[in-house]
Structure 1
């Protein structure tokens, strides 16, 4: 008898629902369907600001290697441009107040490339507007697990999103009604591998099922002026496999990525729009104090102000060219060197590209 009444209640409820739907106007029925499917309206245009390598000064091997203003004015020349829904950079080093680097054992610390920024420098990133950072590179692990764990602690405390280490391959978050996934790859120890493209594609495909926009960052390719060009092949640098960044970028977009942001070569490289998705193959040295070479092309970089639509498709990008030297540090380059370099490299390395380079620094589709 109890089962009979339960069934009767369900039947009556179903009949009431059907009658209610028949009596509702079409618009209401559509709204009901929308509610059921949980379709969300997100903003029509999403703004992503992207820059390359950032290391504000290392207290190793001594505090004399920190900038004279304690890095407080690191971004002052470009702060007006660091505004967007996402403001991204590559954290080329860890946050750690003290300690020696195991990679420098047996060598002169003054000629060893190991970077640890004081913990307090984290707030400089936050105040500048950065809200997403890659920790997939060869310097976040310069001070082993201590540096990696402390970096994660600092970024968590500042609510800056990050990814790229094996214990943090991705981050999913929501901002202004848009759901994002960020994942980062590199060829280095303890990072999510750029060399395992099939695995990267699986991760990206799974993330795309959960979010609106998937942003992928990679640290890959050879380093320096001899590696400005995109080869579309596996790149070897000092006998180390640095990945095939062209195959990687195309692969993750095939899997569902909306934006791909590259760094690692310390120079500017070509840009591309593939399947309506934006790729920057290298964003160069953006703000790097101390032992970084800033000679020639190493001293120029783009600050990319990218606009995409709600589907993640490329709309346009404005390139703010910046430059660095040992005295003036980071400044805006009124000669637009990085923009001109991107145009030259893109047209040479990717002659099939459909990009239009305008005199004001804008990149759009032809």
Structure 2
């Protein structure tokens, strides 16, 4: 995977000069790229995407770590974590030690501050993930130290990421396809989901230099009461979690090809807008410990999306997964997430042109 550094190309002259540096296993390669240079781009691009990932926190107690030290966190689903892009939302930081100012009282082991042991990053890498959002409300649980540790470790593992104000986007090349990725959230030190004009500007700049632009957002209210896309600002605990519908449409209007949402901890509807795919919430995918897994919080989609070289939607397969406190992450043979997506999509977007007639597959109606 070829990495392009975090400096935007000049849209005026259509050239980009890339710095040549090496950090860990990540190499930035110096070259001049003319975006109109003829290149082969594969006909079909595979994007596998899931929601929240937090596979065990050592804070406030090591009792919140899985008994197998996380080694088998993805064993029941890893055969499905394949594709050109394998994406997830990293719901926490990688950090071996330190306390969180977020938790004034940790009596009863009830602190919602997550720091995964740094070695757990390798488990996520080995599962197949090569792209992650770090724009969420838990990446900053341990302040600057946690954020810096996380970005350094992701760099060393050659996992692409975005979403912090210090790392708002990434541009990289894989199998002759140039990707731009940016991520947004309503939280401190992240790129704001509520500044849509700024998001539009960033997406336009990324689109000018890449083939495919992927946008991620952490937005919307949380929990079983908030499964629906409301088309208005969602306020949760007095925090403006964004108007995810307006945001998704705006970034697609600006040039985004795929929009991947997470944050509500439940599955939400999907939409195809201007031939571009939107997942409004991918739910809890692999969330160990303090996360509620009751009811709809315990089911989520593993999305296998296919788009063409122009970024247009072809079809999507939904592998339904489930979590509980005993068996942890497993395949859901009842296809709960798929049926939930079908119901919510038909409810929230009546008149949509999506066909759910084939179990587990979403395609456009003929």
TM-score by length of 2: 0.89
Residue 64, structure 1, aligned to residue 63, structure 2: yes
* Aligned equivalents of 1:109, 1:234: Cα separation in 2: 34
* Aligned equivalents of 1:90, 1:135: Cα separation in 2: 6
Aligned-residue Cα RMSD (Å) equals: 1.1
1:246 alignment partner, SS class: helix
Q: Which digits, 9 at most, give the CA deviation of each residue in 1:116-153, with x for residues without a partner?
A: 00000000011000000000000010000000000001
Residue 206, structure 1, aligned to residue 205, structure 2: yes
1:80 alignment partner, SS class: helix
Residues 92/109 of structure 1: CA separation in 2 closer, same or farther (3 Å cut) = farther
Alignment-derived partner of residue 222 in structure 2: 223
Alignment-derived partner of residue 171 in structure 1: 170
Residue 350, structure 1, aligned to residue 349, structure 2: yes
Q: Which digits, 9 at most, give the CA deviation of each residue in 1:152-201, with x for residues without a partner?
A: 01100100000000000000000000000010000000000000111100
Q: Which is helix-richer, 1 or 2?
A: 1
* Aligned equivalents of 2:117, 2:346: Cα separation in 1: 41
Say whether the 8 Å CA contact 1:61–1:109 is kept in structure 2: no
* Aligned equivalents of 1:75, 1:358: Cα separation in 2: 29
Alignment-derived partner of residue 331 in structure 1: 330
TM-score by length of 1: 0.89
Alignment-derived partner of residue 284 in structure 1: 283
* Aligned equivalents of 1:166, 1:231: Cα separation in 2: 27
Alignment-derived partner of residue 315 in structure 2: 316
Superposition misfits of 4+ residues, deviation over 2 angstroms:
105-109
Q: Which digits, 9 at most, give the CA deviation of each residue in 1:312-354, with x for residues without a partner?
A: 0000000000000000000000000000000000000010211
Q: Which digits, 9 at most, give the CA deviation of each residue in 1:192-226, with x for residues without a partner?
A: 00001111000000000000000000000000000
1:64 alignment partner, SS class: helix
Displacement of 1:37 after TM fit? Answer: 4.6
Residue 77, structure 1, aligned to residue 76, structure 2: yes
Q: How does 1:100-179 map to 2 (within 5 A)?
A: 100-106=99-105, 108=107, 110-179=109-178
Q: Name the stretch that deviates more: 108-117 or 283-292.
A: 108-117
**Number of equivalent positions:** 332
* Aligned equivalents of 1:36, 1:270: Cα separation in 2: 35
Q: Which digits, 9 at most, give the CA deviation of each residue in 1:15-41, with x for residues without a partner?
A: xxxxxxxxxxxxxxxxxxxx9951112
Displacement of 1:95 after TM fit? Answer: 0.2
Higher-Rg structure is 1
